[in-house]
């Protein structure tokens, strides 16, 4: 395998993101158009029908599929495809877009991540009953799988998780496009109604509607769009054993995280992620997911997350700010849009356009999604040229 096949070959030259939230008055078309035209404008594209050569979409709850995007943007006569990879759906759509340019086939492509779960009439993901053996299952139930063992092994507890929610709520107040803009306290988190132990309401991200779009081009053309373009360093996806039936699962880490990080760091040439990466947007569907991800991605030693949380390592002014825009916690999680929304934040940060959230001198930024049982992890690393 050639781990250098991707690095620095593809540039992001435009990005857009609609306001995330319970967008009762907006259709998927409305959100896609809002995000895409922001990206066009950002890239200086006024003739997308000519400039965009292929479209890579990601959505988990599409109503029509690829036609939904083609019809909304009137992008016809060119490939439009759609991918699904649980919560890494948006990241995987981006990954295919990157491949399509790195292989030399296209000059400029569009990546569209979107989802509109709030048209389904349920608050939060519905309990799934899969087949005959199917338990009434909830995502909160799945993602709590490691809690008891991790807490017991490393002496962590709900307070450590609560601090993550407090941090992300704070960051979300600084992000114009976030859904929730309210500071909360550790006490609020601990006293909230229980969803699935150890997760109370504030430990869970909400569901929301949203769309985010990226314009990718090959490096050689990037400067024709803008000077402050951003380069793709790594795109990784890894599937892991189902933690519910894997006989060797240790309940202390998410294996997909570990697998994907190995790939991503190899592609980007990173040996010390904590030192080299300046900002990270990680999958905080539940607070424990973010905690385990700190360790699984090598930001800190296994078992030490709670100390780093207490010391503010991952706060906006910490050594490695995580979820600078407030994460899934404050944006909600329109599944197909989330990965691209995270790229939007990193892109803005690397360009120095993150306003009150701006992290100083950021040159290398990571995104991370974890989905399924969980079994899939998607990661991207982008950086300044």
| Residue of 17, 18, 57, 87 marked catalytic | 87
Q: Which residues ranging from 111 to 130 are in contact with another protein (CB under 8 A)?
A: 124, 127, 129
CB of 24 to another protein, least distance (A): 22
Q: Which of 111, 195, 231, 235 binds another protein (CB under 8 A)?
A: 195
Q: Reduce the DSSP state of residue 210 to 3 states and report it.
A: strand
Residue with smaller CB distance to another protein, 248 or 361? 248
Task: Kindly provide the residue ranges of all beta strands, DSSP E only, lying in the chain, ordered along the sequence.
Answer: 10-17, 54-58, 80-83, 108-115, 194-196, 199-200, 210-218, 230-239, 279-281, 364-371, 376-383
Q: Name the residue nearer to another protein (CB basis): 105 or 148.
A: 148
Q: How many residues bind another protein (CB under 8 A)?
A: 35
Q: Which of 8, 159, 241, 276 binds another protein (CB under 8 A)?
A: 241
DSSP assignment, residue 65? Answer: T
Let me know: does 103 contact 76? Beta carbons within 8 Å. no
Residue (141 or 303) nearer to another protein, CB: 141
How many residues does this entry show for the chain?
385
Question: Helices 255-268 & 287-296, crossing angle to 10 degrees?
Answer: 50
**Positions in 140-159 near another protein (CB under 8 A):** 140-141, 144-149, 152
CB contact at 8 A, 20 and 220: no
Question: Site map for another protein, 199-238, x if CB under 8 A?
Answer: ----------------------------------------
Identify whether the C-beta of residue 339 lies closer than 8 Å to the C-beta of residue 299.
Answer: no
Q: Considering the rule CB under 8 A, would residue 77 count as an interface residue with another protein?
A: no
Decide if 283 is catalytic: no
**Helical segments of 59-102, H only:** 66-73, 89-102
Interface positions with another protein (CB under 8 A): 124, 127, 129, 131-138, 140-141, 144-149, 152, 193-198, 241, 243-249, 251
* Residues involved in catalysis: 87, 333
């Amino acid at each position: 395998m050639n781990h250098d096949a991707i690095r620095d070959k593809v540039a992001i030259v435009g990005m857009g993101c609609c306001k995330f939230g319970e967008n009762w008055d907006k259709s998927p078309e409305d959100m896609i158009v809002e995000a895409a035209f922001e990206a066009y404008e950002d890239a200086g594209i006024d003739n997308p029908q000519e400039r965009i050569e292929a479209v890579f979409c990601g959505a988990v709850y599409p109503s029509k599929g690829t036609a939904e995007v083609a019809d909304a943007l009137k992008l016809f006569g060119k490939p439009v495809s759609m991918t699904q990879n649980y919560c890494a759906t948006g990241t995987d759509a981006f990954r295919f877009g990157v491949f399509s340019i790195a292989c030399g086939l296209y000059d400029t492509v569009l990546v569209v991540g979107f989802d509109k779960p709030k048209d389904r009439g349920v608050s939060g993901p519905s309990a799934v009953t899969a087949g005959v053996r199917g338990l009434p299952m909830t995502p909160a139930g799945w993602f709590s799988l490691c809690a008891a063992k991790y807490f017991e092994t490393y002496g962590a507890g709900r307070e450590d998780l609560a601090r993550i929610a407090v941090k992300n709520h704070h960051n979300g107040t600084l992000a114009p496009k976030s859904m929730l803009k309210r500071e909360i306290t550790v006490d609020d988190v601990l006293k909230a109604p229980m969803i699935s132990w150890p997760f109370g309401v504030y430990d869970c991200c909400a569901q929301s509607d949203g769309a985010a779009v990226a314009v990718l081009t090959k490096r050689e053309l990037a400067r024709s769009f803008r000077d402050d373009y951003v380069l793709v360093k790594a795109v990784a996806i890894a599937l892991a054993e189902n933690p519910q039936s894997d006989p060797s699962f240790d309940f202390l880490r998410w294996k997909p995280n570990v697998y994907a990080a190995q790939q991503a760091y190899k592609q980007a040439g990173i040996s010390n992620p904590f030192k080299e990466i300046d900002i990270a947007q990680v999958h905080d569907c539940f607070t424990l997911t973010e905690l385990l991800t700190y360790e699984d991605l090598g930001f800190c030693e296994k078992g030490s997350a709670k100390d780093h949380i207490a010391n503010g390592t991952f706060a906006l002014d910490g050594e490695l700010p995580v979820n600078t825009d407030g994460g899934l916690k404050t944006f909600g999680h329109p599944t197909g849009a989330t990965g691209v929304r995270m790229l939007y934040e990193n892109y803005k940060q690397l360009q120095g356009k993150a306003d009150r959230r701006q992290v100083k001198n950021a040159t290398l930024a990571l995104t991370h999604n974890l989905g399924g049982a969980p079994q899939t992890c998607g990661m991207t690393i982008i950086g300044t040229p």
